[in-house]
Structure 1
Amino acid sequence: MTDTSAPATARASWVPMIGLFLAQILMSYNVSALPVSLGGMVHDFGVPPTDVSTAIVTYGLVVAALVMVGAKIGQRVGWILMFRIVVALFAVSALTMILAPSVGWVIVAQALAGASAAIIVPSLVALIAENYHGRQQETAIGSLGSARALAGVSAFLIGGTLATLVGWRQVFVVVLVLAIAVFLLSFRLRSAPGNPEVKIDVVAAVIIGLGIVSLTFGVNNLNRWGLLQAGPGAPFDILGLSPAPVLVVIGVVLVQLFFLWTRRRTRRGQVPLVSLSVFGSSRERAAVYAMFIVVALEAGLNFTVPLYIQIVQGRTPFDTSLAMLPFNLTVFFAAMLVVRFYRRFSPRTIGVFGFILTTVALVWLSIVVDNNWETLPTILGLFVFGVGQGALVTLVFNVLVTASPKHLAGDVGSVRGTTQNLASAVGTAVAGALLVGILAANISTALTDHTELPPSLVSQVDLGSVNFVSNERLTEVLAETDATDAQVTAAVAVNEEARLRALRLGLLILAGVSALAIVPASRLPRFRPGEIPESVATGSDPDPE
């Protein structure tokens, strides 16, 4: 966070930063551990994988809905006190995950974790601004990106090993241990006391909260309730229309209403829920758009790969961790090393190049991927995607942080939290709905080409409610029907072909989204971070068109 008025100070101890670094790992590990545990939860609770994805979506939804309020609560009560309280709540969430008797309790636990993270996310930025300055602050901010990537690596390696050898519940014992460690290290942090005069705009909080919940809930249920027409799974219909797209539209309208309300309060001299000066220029808005897209792409890929490996192929979480290792390791190192390029290349150059890499990687994966994730071409695609993704997440966050004054640290943190977690929830929801929707269409088409599968057999298997199942599970279901061996073989072939085509088309669509992201990336600043403080201090536009 840029603070041009602060004099040069002595180097601060890095020990407090260890606690903040682990706090970022705590949140990111929790989210990354959910896909690793996908197969175990599906087996233990007897639910489809899309139900487990609801827990992932719930976490991101709650963080995104509450993080702006969380930033104001932190300012009012005091960052240190609130930080300790919510880290303790995160520990309770981990304990709930370990003891969860049903998938409903898993969703409750992730809602609690999300509510805790809604305050942890802005507090990380605010506490870094309080404890570090100058180049140390820049390094500390960059470390949050590498911590997020390291958590992904750890979740897939440690979590995958534990889920395979012991069980998925033990994966969240690590979350509990991390929460305790962060709580103890928080006593090394310093921060200014809270300001009871800070006002919380309740109206804005309700508007943005309802908007995000409506938007995410609608996207998450597009496949289940119907894309346009209400399907059999819809709880109700609106003149025959599915409630899912209606909720999406309502969510978009409420988000726009939030911006209108916030501008109105600002004009009247009242304190807004979040300062819109964080979006003060087209460059900062471009950083927010770019952050949303790259996190959504990452979430989609992190849901898709475990889905195929654990559910479709019926392999272990450890196999998942090995398949995702090239991607997660690359993200980790790219997030750390990209900071070295800030003095040589502008954010615009790095951003455009990063999205070109992710686009090329996703197109390549859609061409070469098959039912074996360990092939060299697939590993190469994950590697290239990881380079682009790791560089982009750290870059766009740094653009927001360094372009804003210190007193907006909490607001920048809340914008980051809202954007990243809404993107994660939407990315996971869209990936699930997209893959299941494409799969259903593929199976319907394939059935017309396989005349050896009569409608009487299809009705016995209920292929109308399509979801991702392994060949083994499909064979078990067909064994309970009057299908012949030839028909079982044909049905398995249909399943394999439809799944692979769904995967490839899904990756190609993600590549299209990544290509579109080059547009906001081209609006990122042309100046280098070292030039930012002077322009912020003078209030000028550092990157005139």
Structure 2
Amino acid sequence: MARWRALIVLGAAQFLMVLDTSVMNVSISQLVEDFDTEVTAIQAVITLYALMMAAFMAVGAKLGDILGRRRLFLIGLLVYGVGSGLTALAPTVGVLAVGWSVIEGLGAAMVLPAMAALVAETYRGPDRAVAYGVIGGLAGAGIAVGPLLGGWVTTYLTWRLVFAGEVVVVVAMLVCHRVITEVPRTGPRPRMDGVGAALSAAGLGLGVLGVLQSGSWGWVQPRNPPFTVLGFAPTLFFVAGSALVLYAFVAWERRRAARNADPLVHLTLLERPALRAGLLTMLSQNLILLGLFFAVPLYLQVVQGFDAFETGLRLLPVSVTMLLASLGASRFARKVAPRTLVRVSLLTLAAAVVWLLATIDPKIDDSQFAGAMALLGLGMGLLVSQLGNVVQSGALEEERSEAGGLQYTAQNLGSALGTALIGSLLIGALAQSFTTHVEDDPRLSAEAREQTGIALEAGVSFVSTDQVRAGAERVGLPPAEVDAVTEDYAAAQLKGLKAAVLATGGITLATFLVTARLPGRAEAGHGAQS
């Protein structure tokens, strides 16, 4: 039992940081109310958190090599605890973004790659597969507990208590730091690649910002951007700028490697087919999960009118089956190839998305919705149980931190893109559908269409039908037309949600393209690189 003590502390960090995001997702409506803001503002806060981790995860991995993985793990926990304390006290959405998105995000960028490397360093062979299964299970547990705990605390107390509790947990983990050991490093310590760090952060940031704002800016035709470029929306220019900066990053890293200088990332790692396929699948996994965990709570809270606790209860099936599947799948790892398990999980996810699409109606069918959520959790749990081990098994001992950095960069880039892309698709489809409904509705007068058009030009947000009704009454529309506008918006809400969920289904199917490079034998690669 003593050999698993370190895993308890290391896994607790994984649990805590997954719990954080799931609590925030289930509390969206309450955060909007508490800070007197809009859904898009909270979407931006959630996206920024994942983006900070994605942008600085490789930096955190390199710092682990420079300072020591154990030391950086503890420093990251301290930073994370400070961010949690500030989040608990945040008086404005700006302070919330600083405490949660920036400070906690930077803390997580230090903790997670160090954790992945320490797990791989501490456990070998079959134990490593078990350890990563436990880590995946604790991620599932965080998702399981987050919606329910966050929903209950948000509804009956305040969401701030969750973050105050995180400070207590961080302190307890720091007290138990002696159970974590590290093999002393030999040879010279690497140096930080400052230029590479700046280029990678800027490149990822530009791309995610463009995707995040695409719903309100438009992709080509400007909808409501702060500025235009040659008459076009700036979205694609941000994405193109991201591609150029990342190209410069790749060129810089190759140049440093050719000069035997320490690059931020050894790009030769990405030339290993299994490791590359594992990273791409991780990115897709988090894009799908976080995209759905942004859209589905909006459906439950804004369309169905459930509070945070009721939302958490309806998300419980996905959490429970994800936890059970991720813990149980480690038993199959010795007999079933990762490629097979990943493909089965993707098929399960695709079936869950189809089922979920059928449940998005004006009045929810709780049993059908619970079934779709349970199937979703089963597929996601099988997926998360495999990929950490695939990535780390494709790395040598001295590459553990760097592989961990790439692993969590892929995960959090997927999370950032999931919230940004699926959220922007939802808002864009909502705006398009609402516009079409209003233009085609014979119950509306020309004046009503004009008033609605003015409102749409100012930007559409995902709000309740009661708020739409109040807005229509405020501009003086007659009762019959108020009803018509409200019904049109309600129909557009459902179409927007279905478009967002359907997009996750498309991403799920597209992920099959990269699975051919995953290990085709059970426990592939463990012997040589354990």
Q: Fold-level match, TM-score > 0.5?
A: yes
- Alpha-carbon distance, 1:56 to partner: 0.8
Which aligned pairs between 1:461-540 and structure 2 lie closer than 5 A? 462-464=455-457, 465-529=459-523, 531-534=524-527, 536=529
Structure 2 CA distance for partners of 1:349 and 1:138, relative to 1, 3 Å: closer
Which aligned pairs between 1:358-373 and structure 2 lie closer than 5 A? 358-373=349-364
- Is the 8 Å Cα contact of residues 120 and 392 (structure 2) preserved in structure 1? no
* Partner SS state of residue 297, structure 2: helix
Distance between the aligned counterparts of 1:191 and 1:371, measured in 2? Answer: 55
Match of 1:543 in 2: none
Structure 2 CA distance for partners of 1:223 and 1:250, relative to 1, 3 Å: same
Distance between the aligned counterparts of 2:269 and 2:383, measured in 1? Answer: 19
Distance between the aligned counterparts of 2:467 and 2:349, measured in 1? Answer: 34
Aligned partner letter, 2:486? V
Structure 2 CA distance for partners of 1:522 and 1:196, relative to 1, 3 Å: closer
Match of 2:203 in 1: 211
Matched, 1:73 2:67: no
* Partner SS state of residue 245, structure 1: helix
**Superposed CA offset, 1:24-67 (max 9, x none):** 11111111111112111101111111100111111111111111
Matched, 1:275 2:304: no
Distance between the aligned counterparts of 2:214 and 2:85, measured in 1? Answer: 32
Aligned partner letter, 1:515? L
Aligned partner letter, 1:210? A
Match of 1:346 in 2: 337
* Partner SS state of residue 140, structure 2: helix
- Is the 8 Å Cα contact of residues 351 and 522 (structure 1) preserved in structure 2? no
Distance between the aligned counterparts of 2:71 and 2:436, measured in 1? Answer: 58
Query: After the TM superposition, which of the residue ranges 461-470 and 281-290 deviates more from structure 2?
Result: 461-470
Unmatched 5+ stretches in structure 2: none
Distance between the aligned counterparts of 2:31 and 2:350, measured in 1? Answer: 32
Q: TM-score w.r.t. structure 1 length?
A: 0.92
Distance between the aligned counterparts of 1:309 and 1:13, measured in 2? Answer: 43
Matched, 1:93 2:83: yes
Which aligned pairs between 1:294-313 and structure 2 lie closer than 5 A? 294-313=285-304
Distance between the aligned counterparts of 2:134 and 2:199, measured in 1? Answer: 33
Match of 1:6 in 2: none
- Alpha-carbon distance, 1:139 to partner: 1.8
Aligned partner letter, 1:202? G
Distance between the aligned counterparts of 1:77 and 1:404, measured in 2? Answer: 20
2:141 to 134, 142, 150: 150
**Superposed CA offset, 1:314-356 (max 9, x none):** 3200111011111111111111111111122211111112111
- Alpha-carbon distance, 1:437 to partner: 0.5
Aligned partner letter, 2:370? I
1:228 to 211, 214, 220: 220
Distance between the aligned counterparts of 2:94 and 2:445, measured in 1? Answer: 38
Match of 1:540 in 2: none
The alignment covers a number of residue pairs equal to 525
Match of 1:47 in 2: 37
- Alpha-carbon distance, 1:21 to partner: 1.0
**Identical-residue share of aligned pairs (%):** 30
Q: TM-score w.r.t. structure 2 length?
A: 0.94
- Is the 8 Å Cα contact of residues 219 and 426 (structure 1) preserved in structure 2? yes
- Alpha-carbon distance, 1:379 to partner: 1.9
Distance between the aligned counterparts of 2:158 and 2:526, measured in 1? Answer: 50
After superposing on structure 2, the runs of 4+ consecutive aligned residues of structure 1 that deviate more than 6 Å are none
1:84 to 64, 69, 74: 74
**Superposed CA offset, 1:256-290 (max 9, x none):** 33233323333333322123343232222111111
- Alpha-carbon distance, 1:535 to partner: 5.2
Aligned partner letter, 2:193? D
**Superposed CA offset, 1:72-127 (max 9, x none):** 11221122222222211111111111111111111111211111111101110222
Match of 1:37 in 2: 27
- Alpha-carbon distance, 1:224 to partner: 2.0
Aligned partner letter, 1:532? G
Unmatched 5+ stretches in structure 1: 1-10, 538-545
- Alpha-carbon distance, 1:207 to partner: 1.4
- Alpha-carbon distance, 1:503 to partner: 1.5
- Is the 8 Å Cα contact of residues 62 and 115 (structure 1) preserved in structure 2? yes
Match of 1:3 in 2: none
